[in-house]
A and B are shown apart, each in its own frame.
Chain A
Amino acid sequence: QQQVKQSPQSLIVQKGGIPIINCAYENTAFDYFPWYQQFPGKGPALLIAIRPDVSEKKEGRFTISFNKSAKQFSLHIMDSQPGDSATYFCAASPSGGYNKLIFGAGTRLAVHP
């Protein structure tokens, strides 16, 4: 119930491609869904986040699509660049409480030039 399932585990795209990373959850008490980007040797850094009252959010080349009825959300990276190569984690946070994040297992993305 507290899990967030993320796929794929790894992804390789060519520069300019649109990698898509998917996440699914079961707990309907989750009401905040961020994506974090992590480079080797660094902590996760917030990339973009969405709440269930909208179905899509775009920030620059990054877009979250959210399907509340299916309890799924995904990250799309438009015009991907080699500098986007990193590990991406989806997460979810339950309403109320103290902003605890439940992370997915992560997707290692490699963007080849």
Chain B
Amino acid sequence: EPEVTQTPSHQVTQMGQEVILRCVPISNHLYFYWYRQILGQKVEFLVSFYNNEISEKSEIFDDQFSVERPDGSNFTLKIRSTKLEDSAMYFCASSSGANVLTFGAGSRLTVL
């Protein structure tokens, strides 16, 4: 069964450092998303990406965040200058457009 692959599975970084989280969506999907889940809390929408541009973003997705699809397969989330409150599990998801989102296993980010 096709799956969304995320790397790294866990990253520890110092506050103020830049972090890039990587995702390989399902190959024929057109819509890409990043969500985050702070430990024990709900899954929160960050950003959606379609046709090589951001289609929607939440209030959480401020200027410190950016997304990119650098080639035909990868989809990345960059956090420019990490803060303690960025510590969370970050999930990438992709969709063919029929409402069904397939999530990756997540990248746990720990900011010290």
Contact = CB atoms under 8 A, between A and B. Distances in A.
A76 to B, nearest CB: 21
A103 B100 contact: no
A3 B24 CA distance: 29
A59 B104 CA distance: 23
Say what secondary structure dominates the interface of chain B. Answer: strand
B1 to A, nearest CB: 11
A97 B103 contact: no
A102 B46 CA distance: 11
B26 to A, nearest CB: 13
B95 A99 contact: yes
Contacts of A100: 33, 45, 48, 56
A34 B41 contact: no
B99 A44 contact: no
Contacts of B99: 32, 34, 49, 93, 99
Contacts, number: 61
Given A41-B105, A43-B103, A103 B43 contact: yes
B44 interface: yes
B43 A98 contact: no
Interface residues of A, number: 22
A12 interface: no
A98 B100 contact: no
Contact of A89 (B42, B55, B93): B42
B45 A101 contact: yes
Given A36-B43, A43-B104, 19 more contacts: A32-B99, A34-B99, A41-B105, A44-B91, A45-B103, A46-B100, A46-B101, A99-B101, A100-B33, A100-B45, A101-B43, A101-B101, A102-B45, A103-B42, A103-B44, A104-B42, A105-B41, A105-B42, A106-B41
